[in-house]
Amino acid sequence: MQSPTVSELLSQNTSLLEVEIKGWVRTFRANRFIALNDGSTINNIQCVVDFENFDEALLKRVTTGAAIHVKGELVESQGKGQKVEIQVKHLEVLGDSDPETYPIQPKKHSFEFLRENAHLRTRTNTFSAVMRLRSSLSFAIHKYFNENGFYYMHAPIITGSDAEGAGEMFKVSSLDNKNLPLTEDGKVDYTKDFFGKETNLTVSGQLEAETYAMSLGKVYTFGPTFRAENSNTSRHLAEFWMIEPEVAFMDLAGNMDLAEDFMKSVITHVLEHNREDLEFLEKRLLDEEKVKPQAERSDMSLIEKLNFVTENNFKRVSYTEAIDILRNSKPNKKKKFKYLVEEWGMDLQSEHERFLVEKHFKCPVILFDYPADIKAFYMRLNDDGKTVRAMDILFPGIGEIVGGAQREERLDILKQRMAAIDIPEEDLWWYMDLRKYGTAVHSGFGLGFERLVMFATGMGNIRDVIPFPRTPQNAEF
């Protein structure tokens, strides 16, 4: 039988219960108070040791990071900060942790240092809270789609199709680089490779998800996607997870309804299920920002930001209206924007998106009907011939978090748009088939999962919201 978890014990009201528990020592204070954690909650359970009754050599082994097994009585705590504690009767050290070498000491470590110890960093409060939230958000996503009649679809990771143009791709091969097979004219002979042709890691599952939407109706993907871009920033990963719902017979308005309802639902889920972790992370963020100049601090606390999303209607504004607002805005006229807003057709920057959300509308914003030239070929062209039925959802502090569109369902227009950017029709024969046979209006969107985790945890660097981040020059573990 498994022992109860710390989380279960802490929610016990009954005192004087014989209990046992296994976990890792966070701190051992005054040779008497062990703070024990097992990952089930941000909180530790206090184990009180009557040191007179225990072997001194044993107590010396109760160090930060050691795994221990405790038996005793669960009693009401005399001290502050916890309702119950364990009066230890039996103590066993399962695994020692040498305090001279153990990297995770009970002090503040830099996030850089913890990234180098990503295999141990969930032994800290911050990273255990972040990863519990990541897990809870994942489940909320699956739950939402399941309850709303969507089917989960695993889009392929290795792909022979590189037509989406969303970014630089990683090559996948099983050829021996030291002895590449060559064709007669000296090129690499990919017919000898595993798949008989050049293959890459996917940048998006959307096109494949469309094939499933056009038969199963409502589907979504939730899987890893990749970009081989040399972006060494706090917002980019080479490997990240993406959620991409796709729905047949749904237009852009329905897409906005879906995205708003979905985002509110998953954030409500963590507000309801992860309160303690959120409160810890909220406090962490406040502490972090205390040392910053006023201008760089958040206007809202972490939980206020989450409520801002769940409690407000998302304002729907066309790109053209947004450009007008931004052009005439105070920061634009006073040249406070780094990128000044002048011409219709420009791509918006995070500073513009945040201005719209945080200063102008004071609610989450959905921009729609973007210029065709700055959006992807598969987005449905409007009758004006220059805008497409795209939408981006903008959140406080972070700017764009969701990007979606109604898809171009008309074969002739799709072909024109593919031709304009030189995508050969034979590369996307199957995608065109969807427009040849029973085509219909359909729409979907993409959400970068790590952007959502950053938003929900208040973490500032994307490397700190995924277990083992992959970035230029780094694929450790």
Q: How far apart are CA 459 and CA 465, in angstroms?
A: 7
- Residue 172 interacting with a second copy (CB under 8 A): yes
- Residue 475 interacting with a second copy (CB under 8 A): yes
- Residue 179 interacting with a second copy (CB under 8 A): no
Backbone φ and ψ for 87, nearest 5 degrees, come out as: -85, 105
Q: How far apart are CA 164 and CA 444, in angstroms?
A: 15
Q: How far apart are CA 407 and CA 454, in angstroms?
A: 29
Q: How far apart are CA 290 and CA 101, in angstroms?
A: 32
Which amino acid makes up residue 391?
Answer: M
At 110, list the tokens: 């830099």
**Binding region for a second copy (CB under 8 A) out of 37-45, 276-284, 333-341, 347-355:** 37-45
Selected from 194, 292, 299, 344, the binder of a second copy by CB under 8 A is 194
- Residue 28 interacting with a second copy (CB under 8 A): no
Closest approach, Cβ 306 to a second copy, in A, equals: 20
Closest approach, Cβ 156 to a second copy, in A, equals: 4
Q: How far apart are CA 472 and CA 232, in angstroms?
A: 7
Selected from 149, 167, 345, 424, the binder of a second copy by CB under 8 A is 149
User: How many C-beta neighbours within 10 Å does residue 113 have?
Assistant: 12
Q: How far apart are CA 391 and CA 368, in angstroms?
A: 4
Selected from 29, 60, 119, 283, the binder of a second copy by CB under 8 A is 119
**Binding region for a second copy (CB under 8 A) out of 47-55, 142-150, 303-311, 321-329:** 142-150
Judged by beta carbon, residue 105 or residue 328, the one nearer a second copy is: 105
Judged by beta carbon, residue 67 or residue 346, the one nearer a second copy is: 67
Interface mask toward a second copy for 422-451; x: CB under 8 A: --------xx-xxxxxxxxx----------
Selected from 28, 144, 226, 355, the binder of a second copy by CB under 8 A is 226
User: How many C-beta neighbours within 10 Å does residue 273 have?
Assistant: 15
Judged by beta carbon, residue 80 or residue 436, the one nearer a second copy is: 436
Closest approach, Cβ 406 to a second copy, in A, equals: 14
Judged by beta carbon, residue 180 or residue 346, the one nearer a second copy is: 180
Closest approach, Cβ 219 to a second copy, in A, equals: 8
Closest approach, Cβ 472 to a second copy, in A, equals: 6
Q: How far apart are CA 64 and CA 106, in angstroms?
A: 7
Q: How far apart are CA 159 and CA 143, in angstroms?
A: 28
Selected from 358, 392, 409, 464, the binder of a second copy by CB under 8 A is 409
Closest approach, Cβ 462 to a second copy, in A, equals: 13
Q: How far apart are CA 278 and CA 287, in angstroms?
A: 14
Closest approach, Cβ 396 to a second copy, in A, equals: 26
Judged by beta carbon, residue 237 or residue 402, the one nearer a second copy is: 237
Residues with Cβ within 8 Å of residue 301, at least 6 apart in sequence: 282, 285, 286
Q: Give the footprint of a second copy on residues 58-117 (CB under 8 A).
A: 65-67, 94-98, 101-102, 104
- Answer positive or negative: Cα dihedral of 304, 305, 306, 308: positive
Q: Give the footprint of a second copy on residues 240-299 (CB under 8 A).
A: 241, 248-250, 254
Question: In 3D, which of 141, 98, 104 has the Cα closest to residue 123?
Answer: 104
Question: In 3D, which of 465, 322, 294, 287 has the Cα closest to residue 399?
Answer: 322
Judged by beta carbon, residue 212 or residue 308, the one nearer a second copy is: 212
**Binding region for a second copy (CB under 8 A) out of 34-42, 292-300, 339-347, 389-397:** 34-42
- Residue 474 interacting with a second copy (CB under 8 A): yes
Residue found under tokens 């199963």? 216
Query: C-alpha distances in angstroms, 250 versus 233, 246, 247?
Result: 36, 9, 6
